[in-house]
Structure 1
Amino acid sequence: MPHVADGPYAPPVPAHELTVTSADGARLHVEVHGPENAPAVVLSHGWCCSTAFWAAQIRELAADHRVVAYDQRGHGRSPANPAYGTEPLADDLEAVLKATLAPGEQAVIAGHSMGGMTLMAAATRPAVREHAAAVLLCSTGSARLVPSATVVPLREGRVRTWLTRRILGSRAPLGPVTPAARRILKYGTMGPGSAPDMVEACARIVHACPRRVRYGWSHVLDLLDLDHGVRELRMPVEVVVGTADRLTPPVHARELAAALPDCVGLTELPGLGHMTPVEAPDLVTGKIRALAAAHMSGARDERSARTAAPTAAPTGVQTAAAQTAPVQTAAVQTEESA
């Protein structure tokens, strides 16, 4: 089973599903949850994950938002495709936005890890400029991912980079979800205090990713250079990171906050790892909900009647210049001690 069947991380049943075709013919599995005419949220997951990764956010947000979640190519129920790269990621996001949002309809778009990189890659695309009212970037970075990763407990340098590249780019199968596999995944991707149900949910999702897909995308992440895309994200953007993130350490979040034209906040979560939407589900859901309330129109007319009118941040919403993005440290409770 690719995901847990019950509890807070069990994927909710979508209102409807569709297949979207990207620019190169890649087929993408898309789910839509919540009321048809509610404010829209679009969720883009990370490397080796699937729509199931957003289960906690979908369950809460779908009460009063229309939530669109899609499987990145080769992940989840989206078939594998030989095209790997940041441009295909951007093509895919653009295709999903065009297929699920009405002309001019605004949405909050949240991206985790490779999903955040997808947004950076698509920053200049017309569909992103048209539809993104605000963006949430969770546990992500724009470049230099492998040299900065701390999965290997060595001092930064050539040896650590060499070892990290071979670990993250391994062709070895992950195999079944065993106690040892859970411990390895928890060490590499989650904070030390992550609750067992969080670890189980992430392990089921990650281990379901096909080996060739995991390997193919690892090379894209190794060579990633999207610094230019960060500067093109001109809508309000909020950044979230765990202080114990070994894959995209907080240095990346701070660099993003400094480079974004309109960073409205940087939140560092003490003791949390790379899987922030799973490790801090209520906080991440709250960030998405707050961005929607602050930066989206309150109109709930029929989608076909919506107009393309960008909504400015209301008075009192704090925005920050690149150099002065407010850094918030949030205390997050976990169910077991480190």
Structure 2
Amino acid sequence: MKTLGKTLIGLGVGVALAPVVTVVGALAKEVALAPHPRQAPHEPLLDEPTAPAELIRVVADDGSPLNVMAYGPADGEVIVLSHGWTCQGSYWYPQINAFADRYRVVVYDQRGHGLSPVGSSDLTQDRLAADLAAVLEAVVPEGKRALIGGHSMGGMSILSWARNYPEAVEKYARGVLLASTGAINILHELAIVPTDLPSFALPLRRAVASSVAYTPVPVLHSPLSRRLGQYLALDDHATAEAVRFCEKMMFDTPTRVRSRWARLFGRLDVVAGLDALTVPTTIVVGDHDRLTPRLHADMMAERLRAHDVLAEYEVLTDTGHMSTVESAHAVNESIARLLAITEDAAVVGADSLGEAVEHRA
């Protein structure tokens, strides 16, 4: 635990030392005492997909290429999935494996992740929106609508897109999935540091939590980093296979890219995107999500319910931030229900988006 504490103190450089030691010590204790990943039978949903795959060339509006992969039948109804921070398109293997036998499942690497270069533009919420807009324009056939899903930063991408391009929502989307995400105050509401601290240390909980997220310190691949990664991103009940699956993507993300995107979370505000969603929308969140805790999902659900577009809101038990991996079967069932209630809205001009909302779960 001493080594872990030193590592975390290094991430919290620049904050008053005494309270930092207290906060970091509490965090290190939580990580050290967290259960090891549990052993479980192999989960086939985490395997590399065997469905036919196609590389699609997409260039964003600033000239930067985006790595886009499409799985499944070329003439299938389209599902577009946007991954989160420190992940890549392969994060969606559980959904590709579940749906690519009959749907066209499209995933892309956010810039700086996977095979998409970071480009020269500033990493902003507008950039998230513009990149998603470029992908949708390239992969959704004329006259068709897609189910659009996003996890974490991918959900923020959808909300930013809806905020910036409200006229495009009903053109491209039959329904929306928001998984383990938020619309505002992302760093402010991180739940990675314990709350039972001395009063003098409480004001620095958020500062230390933010530093852990965005300080550009390389994280070496080790059992220690694996424990920290699981604590931050997955539930204590996560399987060893799920931890390894997520860990690889986290470590594949360049340190500087991780830091630059994380800084966006301190100023991100895409609440207006919730008001622009006029299609049936499902929200899922883990009950033990430390990165985008349930309070974000509660707020979004209340907002969407007020606009009468909330299709379903599910809190997943024994699940952390990586919900679509940790609770893949439950999330896939939610997606299937959303596909079912929006089936008639897959074609533009069917005049059925309103009916889909009327018949939401």
Give the TM-score, by structure 1 length.
Answer: 0.86
2:277 matches 1:240? no
> How much does 1:185 deviate?
0.7
Q: How does 1:58-69 map to 2 (within 5 A)?
A: 58-69=96-107
2:309 matches 1:270? no
Is contact 1:104–1:309 with CA below 8 Å preserved after alignment? no
> How much does 1:317 deviate?
2.6
> How much does 1:155 deviate?
5.6
> How much does 1:33 deviate?
0.4
Counterpart in the other structure of 2:17: none
Counterpart in the other structure of 1:142: 183
Counterpart in the other structure of 1:329: none
Look at both structures and tell me which one has the larger radius of gyration over its CA atoms.
2
2:275 matches 1:231? yes
Distance 1:43 1:315, change over 3 A: closer
Q: How does 1:113-132 map to 2 (within 5 A)?
A: 113-124=152-163, 125=165, 126-132=167-173
Q: How does 1:33-48 map to 2 (within 5 A)?
A: 33-48=71-86
2:197 matches 1:160? no
Counterpart in the other structure of 1:302: none
Structure-2 separation of matches of 1:180 and 1:9: 24
Structure-2 separation of matches of 1:181 and 1:248: 20
Q: CA RMSD in A?
A: 1.9
Q: Which of 78, 81, 92 is the aligned partner of 1:54? A: 92
Q: Which of 297, 300, 310 is the aligned partner of 1:253? A: 297
Q: Aligned letter for 1:114?
A: M
Q: Aligned letter for 1:167?
A: V
Q: Which of 238, 247, 263 is the aligned partner of 1:194? A: 238
SS in structure 1 of the partner of residue 344 of structure 2: coil
> How much does 1:315 deviate?
9.1
Counterpart in the other structure of 2:48: 11
Q: How does 1:285-304 map to 2 (within 5 A)?
A: 285-297=332-344
Deviations 1:234-292 (A, max 9, x none): 11111000110000110100100011221111100122100001101111112112211
Task: Give the total of aligned pairs.
Answer: 307
Counterpart in the other structure of 2:262: 218
Is contact 1:133–1:310 with CA below 8 Å preserved after alignment? no
Task: Determine what percentage of the aligned residue pairs are the same residue.
Answer: 34
Is contact 1:103–1:308 with CA below 8 Å preserved after alignment? no
Where structure 2 has 5 or more consecutive residues not aligned to the other structure, the ranges are 1-42
Larger helix proportion of the pair: 2
Distance 1:8 1:180, change over 3 A: farther
Structure-2 separation of matches of 1:269 and 1:307: 33
Structure-1 separation of matches of 2:134 and 2:310: 26
Give the TM-score, by structure 2 length.
Answer: 0.81
Counterpart in the other structure of 2:25: none
Distance 1:70 1:128, change over 3 A: farther
Distance 1:129 1:298, change over 3 A: closer
Q: Aligned letter for 1:175?
A: L
Distance 1:113 1:136, change over 3 A: same
2:216 matches 1:175? no
Deviations 1:219-241 (A, max 9, x none): 11111111111111111111000
SS in structure 1 of the partner of residue 194 of structure 2: coil
2:121 matches 1:85? no
SS in structure 2 of the partner of residue 67 of structure 1: strand
Distance 1:162 1:316, change over 3 A: closer
Where structure 1 has 5 or more consecutive residues not aligned to the other structure, the ranges are 1-5, 300-305, 320-338
